[in-house]
Each structure stands twice: as structure tokens, then as C-alpha cells.
Structure 1
Amino acid sequence: MESTESVASGARRRRADSMAVASFVLGLLGLLVLNVVLGPIALTLACLALRGGTTRKGRALLGLGLGFADLAVLAALAAANGTVAWNFG
């Protein structure tokens, strides 16, 4: 029988793994839409996942990089258009 400490540790690690995957997906999605919202969320989830001891460090680091890329796209859009909205045409 497992101790309650190891069960809690396993639950924390699974939660951190889920946050790592979520940060990657949200960071990737943020490159296309809602980068002003999804970029900071991806950054936050990636940092929490890395701090929580995720076994999916690669995905957490990709989520971190994509979160920064989302903010870079936002800054480029703001500099080019003077707005944070996408504009086609």
C-alpha cells in the first residue's frame, strides 16, 4: 500500500504534467488567436509546471517559449498597426 505522501506527490506531478501540456497547447494556439490573453496564461502555466516538478519539461519549456513568442507577436502587431487587433486587408 502506498503512503499518502507518495500519492500526494503523484497527484502533484500529474497536475504539473497537465499544466505543461496546457501551456504548450495554449502557447501554440496563442500564435494564431488571442495572443494578448493566451500568451501570459501559457507563461504562467509553464512556470507553475516547471516549479511543480513536471516530467514533461520539454513541453513546459516549449510552452514558455511559445508564450514569449505570443507576446513578441503582440508587440510586433502593436508596433505595425498601433493596435493589438489582427487586421486582414
Structure 2
Amino acid sequence: MTKTTTFPTESKRRPLIREKPAPIAYRINDAADAIGVGRTKLYELIAAGKIPAKKRDGLTFIRAVDLDAYISGGEDVGPLSSMQDLDR
């Protein structure tokens, strides 16, 4: 009697896990969560010029580098004009 060898089917193989790349910009809720403040406080920081934000097509975006600069206590990374237009 011969022994039959079976091979795993495609569905039994482990899927390849890929890490999600770090975002280059956040929307308001995600930015607030990232630095541990509420939406109202984040809007206050934006209004005070402590965190630059850019509005595009009705959505507000905050660059990850600007959030990093704020929480590290460093200088602002740059003015709003240094943000690239997102439509390009």
C-alpha cells in the first residue's frame, strides 16, 4: 500500500502580512487621537498657529511632520504655504 502525500492548497497558506505605511497627513479626528487631545483642543492649537493645517476640498489635513514637531516641542516645521497642494 502506497502512502499518498497531500500538499496544502492555496487557501490553507498563511497570507502575507504587510505593514501599513505611516501616514504623511492626518484628518482632524486622527490627528487629535495621534497626539492625545480632543478635537476642540486641536482646533484651538490650529487657530493659535501652533499646528499648521491645510484645507482642501472641504477636508482639513495636518502633516505628520507638523504633529511630530509640536509634540516634540520643536520649532514649527514650516508655514502653511510649504504644504504641497493635494490635488496634484
TM-score tier, shorter chain, comes to under 0.3
Choose 1 or 2 for highest CA Rg: 2
Q: TM-score, normalised by structure 1?
A: 0.27
Q: TM-score, normalised by structure 2?
A: 0.28
Task: Report which structure shows greater RCO (CA 8 Å, sep ≥6).
Answer: 1
Structure 1 or 2: larger helix share?
1
Structure 1 or 2: larger strand share?
2
